[in-house]
Structure 1
Amino acid sequence: MQRFLLMFSVLFSSLFFTQTRLNLIPYPQKIEFQKGTFIIPENFKLDENLPVKETAYFKKRTAGMFTFSSGKKDEGVHLVNALFTPQSVIDQQKKEKYSVDISTKSIIISSNTDHGYFLALQTLIQLLEQYKDSGKIPAMKIEDEPKFAWRGMHLDVCRHFFTVAEVKQYIDYLAMYKLNTFHWHLTDDQGWRIEIKKYPKLTQIGSKRKESMIGAYVDNTFDGKPYGPYFYTQDQIKKVVKYAQERHITVVPEIEMPGHALAALSAYPELACTKGPFEPATKWGVFDDVFCPKEETFTFLENVLDEVIQLFPSKYIHIGGDECPKTRWKECPYCQELIKKNNLKGEHGLQSYFIHRIEKYVNSKGRKIIGWDEILEGGLAPNAAVMSWTGIKGGVEAAKTGHFAVMTPGAYCYFDHYQGDPATEPNAFGGFTPLDKVYSYNPIPKELNAEQSKYILGVQANLWTEYILDFKQVQYMIFPRLFALSEVGWGTSDPNNYKEFEERVIHEFKHLDKLGVNYAKSIYNVSGKVIPSENGVAYELSTSQDQNGIRYTLNGKDPEANASIYKNPIPVSKSMTIKSAYFENGQLKSAISSQTFTISKTTGKKITLLEQPSENYSFGGAFTLVDGIVGNQKQLGKTWLGFQGKDVVATIDFGQKAQFSEVYFNTLDNKGSWIHFAKSAQVFVSDNGTDFKLIKEIAKDEILSSKGKIRLNVGGQNAKYLKVRIENAGIIPAGNPGADSKAWLFIDEIGVN
């Protein structure tokens, strides 16, 4: 236990601060306001016994606010005995427990450890930032500790590389908002970024690629520019790890296996099932060539892990395990013999065999493995932890079987998704994960009981960098969503009080401005939500600012300060384009948002789905298919619903008989992301909602020839109900990215004319 005193030269003030909400992120567990104020001094007097490294950090962060001096007990510094639990019996969260007691004369920090002291400093720095202009802080006592032991951020440096200085800056951001884990994604198909002395060709060959994909994936265009060689030397990695340790951040390295291995196979093709040749991938996506589970491969990976373990003192080593196509294993005589010899359950059993072998080796070195959901395939290794990304299912399965899990579902925790209107945002991978959605996440699945919930280590957000070209864009994608993640991980988020959190976010922007951070200002923009209305749909506008500042037009022209003032949801009874923006004192303060509506006889009607979309691509639910918005084929944002391995069976109730002769919808083809055109589609009608008659069928060839823009002539129909069945492509065939996995089916709007 340690208890620390920060002592200042102060003036007493009898002003009583009534309880108020502080601009702290993450918000503490408990705050008790007291009478009086603490006057922020010009000279900050520190107890000379404070932890050296953490206090040096504090001085650096507050440089320019005041000067510093130190003192002993007889100079007015009061040393206090231990009050907290002895360190020998505390768990991770208790190691991070702290209190900050601000009186009229002093600030006393109490904690179990230097880590707790460091976290207390983050709180104090935010308080000083908030009150520096007034010169006084209300007297209070803060008692605080995190709910979750793992509060992490991931960074992919393989698709695009970031310098040591930038990685350190990234770590600083985590420390500022009390995250404690940095997941460093160091190897992938597009680049090998860590020096391995035993295998120099990994960086000589695997750290560069001949070009990179640019723009939307469906464009299939490349920049023609060699990329790399880019990698971190072992000396650089040691410096990053040390830098992180000084900020109480654990660095968890990720070495991908058995899939996402093209960069490694380019250097050492003998580790593959085929002879190659291979080259680091220039496209994004998933590729068939993976590590072959032969003895020389395990020797190679064990030697690599030996060097990795020497560099990273983390308890866990991340071994990937995700998105490993089984195509090559199916065709490989060695793999098939191995399956037979060990009585494995096919290629999924071989994946489990692979992970078990690696885990046994990592365990022999005193470490544990953690991997993505797919390490569950064929049975989870005995001591492995799961990082649940495809949803919550992997985490639930792990916890129910006594394995630890970190929750990082794409629907809430993938920061490469759009965070605002895709039309006004930089190109992103897809999906729609705005700030309020991140803030709404609860890492404890409702499927778990209290005992099982103990196996949820915590929460993490991931930043994949296919479309993130530089560090300014890294900043843009993580801020302000990192604030929401921080509070979710700390356990004090309150989705029912989101607006209050949003106010704190906007206040914290001032600090980001001071640091020169390029954060996203999406929450300032006017956001639109389509809602059902009596005559179809209405468009509801909102902003984090004064609602009276919203201006809009219905004629497709950009709004000006004298445009219509938004008061109520805008009725949309015909096809139109609504543009909106936020103005303040006659000045445009936001991006101009634009939404085009294509109205049909299904718009706003009641719709039900037999199967629900994936949580990653479910914004708006079934209503998205009848909201009057046709999706942009280059942006898998909020206007599309995505279904993995499922057919779309949608039933629309017109309310009364409706006449129509055309049914339309759009589907996508983006094989690199496992998205395939529909296999077939059928249209049915009914008058009672029970007995349906098939009126039109379309096969795959017609869907392909239409390039996914389906327009079906169904003759003259007069029916109360319409049912559309759109068949998923099913299992992805060999020769395609993600072979043997379930295909994705994307649908945007089901309309009739």
Structure 2
Amino acid sequence: MIRTFLVFFVLISNVILAQNKLNLIPYPQKVQLLQGEFILPETFILSGDLPKEETEYFKKRIEPQLKFQYAQKSGGIHLTSSIIPASSPADAEHKKEYYSIEISPNQIHVKSYTKQGYFLALQTLVQIFEQYKESKKIPAMKIEDQPKFAWRGMHLDVCRHFFTVDEVKQYIDYLAMYKLNTFHWHLTDDQGWRIEIKKYPKLTQIGSKRKESMIGAYVDNTFDGKPYGPYFYTQEQIKEVVKYAQDRHITVVPEIEMPGHALAALSAYPELACTKGPFESATKWGVFDDVFCPKDETFTFLENVLDEVIKLFPSQYIHIGGDECPKTRWKECAHCQELIKKNNLKDEHGLQSYFIHRIEKYVNSKGRKIIGWDEILEGGLAPNAAVMSWTGVDGGIEAAKSKHFAVMTPGAYCYFDHYQGDPQSEPNAFGGFTPLEKVYSYNPIPSELNAEQAKYIMGVQANLWTEYILDFKQVQYMIFPRLMALSEVGWGTSDPKDYKEFENRVINQFKVLDDMKVNYARSIYNITGKVIPSNTGIAYELSTSQNTNGIRYTLDGTNPSINSKTYQNAVQIPNSLTIKSAYFEEGQLKSAVSVQPFTISKTTGKKITLEQQPSENYSFGGAFTLVDGIIGNVKQLGKTWLGFQGKDVVATIDFGQKTPFSEVYFNTLENKGSWIHLAKSAKIFVSDDNRNFKLIKEVEASEIQNASGKIKVNVGAQNAKYLKVNIENAGIIPAGNPGADSKAWLFVDEIGVN
């Protein structure tokens, strides 16, 4: 009986805690609600011995709501703290971000091992005060907290589009608000060199500007005709930003790209290339063949650049890029070929490894370490290098298994230049589909690693590339609210099963962003749709972060109104039509109108299998995406295409019974700047037993090219139970194209028959 009572009491306590969950992001490791309340006074008294800089930051965040005064530590003090001396250096490192907060009716007391821990505690207090600023009654509680991951980062590309010092400071403030601790500053690329190097003034005189910029979707190949720049940060401005970040306990990691993404530097110093040039900063996005040539004068240049960079940035790591370096020029360069022979290198990938090793040795001699994108694994990883795994998780796995540190930043979860809502109602973006829920679902520790190997995963980072981000308002739009999901993933308290609860905390945080006048994305209010198989073919499930009773939809092409059909169950799609849906609250439209056309064929909703799976970055919906009745938009990769790098698409569709048809269609995409090439060829087969297949049609490259990837072929009168379509990848990208010598991407859309 006593045991039953105790269990019942514990269950009731857990229910109360769940119902009163604090509006905190990231959520702390341990929260215990206590008896009583702390009443916020008109004037908040601060102990005179509190760490000054951190406390002043706290005051500025809260001062619009409260008045403050300092007083010596004595009875009645409302905010006190104690810094606990570490028992050992190792303990200090482990607990440098630890803090506890105890709120009693009489005072708030913070404990930490460092000022950094104290600062993180203040971020939590700010959110608590914001939650209870109306009632001014804060429940008594005890919080004990520290992050799971040491590296919790956000990246910002200032090369494609430039942002002012004040805007960069705002960006750093956003990181601090949600307890991120690393700012990765992408300062050089093909489209612009953004950091003053006093030894090489032409880098900013010439390399910080371009004659025009690409606009719209990449496939449009249109330009604005407007000179861009010169835009760069002086060394004094760099110091100002670094100090600003340090005051918020954020480390700034600079990135100086090499050996690729070097056109802006080569425009200023063409002698560093394999060919004579001339060169100019890129006006298009993408990847270019002209890269740094690995000759002595290039290494002298880069070492001199790094000398100035290292003096400006006290970070342990210097990011040296290393990604997307085509080997075209190296293959044609006599010096490069001689260098390969002289050093017994296997090939140009070995030359890339030689390049990175040499740079690492120099950086190490300055007491620093290098980190680079996962292509630095090519030809063998430098001895002390850390890997930033972006193409997927494999780079991080390989690094950790070889006892190298890694930061996980896979594009499928951590690229915030992707769409976060329906591409039709979002600003133009790079592509991909990475909604808030997907970011929140990410686990930075790959399942392939054992406990010992997992120790080499330093943490997680999200990246914001700015090809399509023209101003800081759009920067805000792309990072919020996804930055909140990233913060909780990095803190180690995210739980995908509780996503809806997290989403509610996000919506509560919107009030804070409103007060700050932040232009955040409201995509979670919008209607999201999911195609599911049904007895009649397919059905369309609609959902929203709000009550689904507020969803209205139409099937006749008109925009929904409050009087349109109320959504109750998945909408059956018996034939080709367009669903328009929106969310209404108290009679008012609260979301964008979502528009989804359907094109129904005899394959729609049928069982489909793939012999090879798509890249994780472009796998939304899996194989069913190819038979879901949705035709992809060629200008927006979004969520309606499957992407395969270096792989053929071999899809088998089971009609369920013998089915007559005479036409087969499918779409492939071409966007060479993003390494996406049309299919090389295609073959179409039929079968009645799923074992013995008969070839009924071959589609040649010329036919695919002439149709611009929109393939529709007459296959004669057929009557079969199974259809197999083998779409051949273009293979290795040929010289003269962006990404030459790399595996081409193949993007495939709906496979239909009539």
Q: Which amino acid aligns with 2:407?
A: V
Alpha carbons 1:212, 1:224 under 8 Å: kept: yes
Give matches, 1:517-536, under 5 Å.
517-536=518-537
1:52 corresponding residue in structure 2: 52
Query: 1:20 Cα deviation (Å)?
Result: 1.5
| 3-state DSSP of counterpart to 2:431 | coil
Match in the other structure for 2:316:
315
Secondary structure of 1:631's match?
coil
1:662-677 alignment runs, 5 A limit: 662-677=663-678
Does the 8 A contact of 1:92 with 1:149 survive in 2? Answer: no
1:420 aligns to what? Answer: 421
Residue identity matched to 1:25: I
Shift of 1:90: 2.7
Structure 2 CA distance, aligned partners of 1:333 and 1:100?
A: 65
Equivalent residues of 2:76, 2:107 under 8 A apart: no
Matched, 1:681 2:682: yes
CA distance in 2, matches of 1:51, 1:296: 48
Q: 2:80 touches 2:110 (CA, 8 Å); kept in 1?
A: no
Aligned mates of 1:64, 1:155 — CA distance in 2? 30
Aligned mates of 1:725, 1:80 — CA distance in 2: 67
2:20 corresponds to: 20
* Secondary structure of residue in 2 paired with 1:73: coil
Between the aligned partners of 1:98 and 1:18, the Cα distance in structure 2 is 22
- Matches of 1:227 and 1:503, distance apart in 2: 41
The amino acid of 1:275's aligned partner reads K
Distance 1:17 1:192, change over 3 A: closer
1:254 aligned partner: 255
Q: CA deviation at 1:17?
A: 9.2
Residue 229 of structure 1, CA deviation: 0.2
Which deviations, in whole Å up to 9, do the C-alpha atoms of 1:572-612 show, x marking residues without a partner?
11000000000011110100000000000000000000000
What does residue range 376-455 of structure 1 map to in structure 2 within 5 Å?
Answer: 376-455=377-456
Q: Is the 1:26–1:487 Cα contact (8 Å) retained in structure 2? A: yes
CA offsets 1:717-740 (integer angstroms, 9 cap, x no match): 000000000000000000000000
Q: Supply the distance in 2 between the matched residues of 1:47 and 1:241 (Cα, whole angstroms).
A: 29
Corresponding residue for residue 159 of structure 2: 158
Distance 1:346 1:213 in 2: 34
Inter-CA distance 573–164: structure 2 relative to 1 (3 Å threshold):
same
Equivalent AA in structure 1 for residue 697 of structure 2: K
Structure 1 residues 279-298: Cα deviation after superposition (integer angstroms, max 9, x where no partner): 00000000000000000000
Give, in angstroms, the shift of residue 79 of structure 1.
7.0
Q: SS state of the match for residue 403, structure 1?
A: coil
- What amino acid sits opposite 1:174 in the alignment? L
Deviation, 1:73, is 3.0
Match of 1:218 in 2: 219
Question: SS where residue 459 of structure 1 aligns?
Answer: strand
Counterpart of 1:29, as a letter, is Q
1:545 aligned partner, one-letter code? Q
Q: Do structure 1's residue 459 and structure 2's residue 460 form an aligned pair?
A: yes
Q: For residue 381 of structure 2, what is the amino acid of its counterpart?
A: L
Provide the C-alpha distance between the structure 1 equivalents of 2:88 and 2:506, rounded to a whole number of angstroms: 34
**Structure 1 unmatched ranges of 5 or more:** 1-15
C-alpha separation in 1, matches of 2:120 and 2:477: 25
Aligned partner of 2:367 in structure 1 is: 366
SS of structure 2 residue aligned to 1:183: strand
Quick check: 1:640–1:747 contact (8 Å CA) kept in 2?
A: yes
CA contact (8 A) 2:46 2:80 kept: no
Distance 1:25 1:74, change over 3 A: closer
Q: Deviations over 1:524-569 (max 9, x none)?
A: 0011000111111000000001110000000111001100000000
Aligned residue identity for 2:385: A
Alignment partners' CA distance in 2, 1:519 and 1:317 = 31
- 1:706 maps to 707
Partner residue in 2 for 1:13: none
Question: Counterpart in 2 of 1:644?
Answer: 645
Q: What is the letter of the counterpart of residue 171 of structure 2?
A: Y
Normalised to the residue count of structure 1, the TM-score between the two structures is 0.97
Say whether the 8 Å CA contact 1:17–1:37 is kept in structure 2. no
Distance 1:74 1:125, change over 3 A: closer
1:138-166 C-alpha deviation (Å, 9 max, x unpaired) = 00000000000000000000000000000
Q: Secondary structure at the match of 1:696?
A: strand
Residue 298 of structure 1: SS of its match in structure 2? helix
Cα distance, 1:273 vs. partner? 0.2
Q: Secondary structure at the match of 2:708?
A: coil
Aligned counterpart, 1:475 = 476
Offset of residue 64 of structure 1: 1.6
Cα distance change, pair 17–27 in 1 and its aligned pair in 2 (3 A): closer
Report the CA distance between 1:172 and its aligned residue.
Answer: 0.1
Give the distance between the partners of 1:699 and 1:93, measured in 2 at CA: 61
Distance 2:293 2:426 in 1: 41
Superposition pairs for residues 94-105 of structure 1, below 5 Å? 94-105=95-106
Offset, 1:85: 3.6
- The DSSP-based 3-state class of the residue aligned with 2:579 is strand
Residue 81 of structure 1, CA deviation? 6.5
AA aligned to 1:278 is: F
Give the 5 Å matches for 1:285-304. Answer: 285-304=286-305
Supply the distance in 2 between the matched residues of 1:289 and 1:651 (Cα, whole angstroms): 42
Aligned residue for 1:332? 333
Counterpart code for 2:204: T
Give the whole-Å Cα distance in 1 for the aligned partners of 2:376 and 2:464.
21
- Equivalent residue of 2:364, what SS? helix
Tell me the distance in 1 between the aligned counterparts of 2:722 and 2:80. 77
Q: Tell me, what secondary structure is at the counterpart of 2:246?
A: helix
The alpha-carbon deviation at position 74 of structure 1 amounts to 3.9
Q: Measure the CA separation in 1 of the matches of 2:159 and 2:114.
A: 35
Q: In the superposition, relative to structure 1, how do residues 257 and 544 fare at CA in structure 2: closer, same or farther (>3 Å)?
A: same
Distance 1:319 1:407 in 2: 17
- Contact 1:17–1:34 at 8 Å: present in 2 too? no
Stretches of structure 2 lacking an aligned partner (at least 5 in a row): 1-15
- Number of the residue aligned with 1:41: 41
User: Given that residues 679 and 727 in structure 1 are in contact (C-alpha distance below 8 angstroms), is that contact kept between their aligned partners in structure 2?
Assistant: yes
Deviates further, 708-717 or 88-97 = 88-97
In the superposition, the TM-score normalised over structure 2's length comes to: 0.97
Distance 1:625 1:246, change over 3 A: same
- 1:67 offset after TM fit, Å? 1.0
CA distance in 2 between counterparts of 1:473 and 1:133 reads 31
Query: Number of aligned pairs?
Result: 738
Match of 1:742 in 2: 743
Call closer, same or farther: CA 1:84–1:445 in 2, change over 3 Å. Answer: farther
Amino acid paired to 2:66: F
Change (3 A) 1:581 1:263: same
5 Å matches for 1:85-100? 85-86=86-87, 88-90=89-91, 92-100=93-101
What's the CA shift for 1:69? 1.2
Name the aligned partner's letter for residue 57 of structure 2. Answer: Y
Specify the SS of the correspondent of 1:476. helix
Q: CA deviation at 1:93?
A: 4.7
CA gap of 1:670–1:100, structure 2 versus 1, over 3 A, is same
TM superposition shift of 1:76: 3.8
TM-superposed deviation, 1:84: 6.3
**Alpha-carbon separation, structure 2, partners of 1:228 and 1:688:** 63
In the TM superposition, what is the alpha-carbon distance from 1:65 to its structure 2 partner? 1.1
Q: Distance in 1 between matches of 2:686 and 2:589?
A: 49
Task: Kindly indicate whether residue 628 of structure 2 is the aligned counterpart of residue 631 of structure 1.
Answer: no
Report what 1:552 is aligned to. Answer: 553
Conserved in 1, the CA contact under 8 Å of 2:320 and 2:372?
yes
Does structure 2 conserve the Cα–Cα contact (< 8 Å) formed by 1:86 and 1:112?
no
Does the Cα contact within 8 Å between 1:524 and 1:590 map onto a contact in 2? yes
Counterpart code for 1:33: L
Partner residue in 2 for 1:133: 134
C-alpha distance 623-74 of structure 1, shift in aligned 2 (>3 A): closer
Name the SS for the 1:285 alignment partner.
Answer: coil
The aligned amino acid for 2:371 is I
CA 1:309 to 1:551, structure 2 compared with 1: closer, same or farther past 3 Å? Answer: same
Give 1:617 deviation, angstroms: 0.3
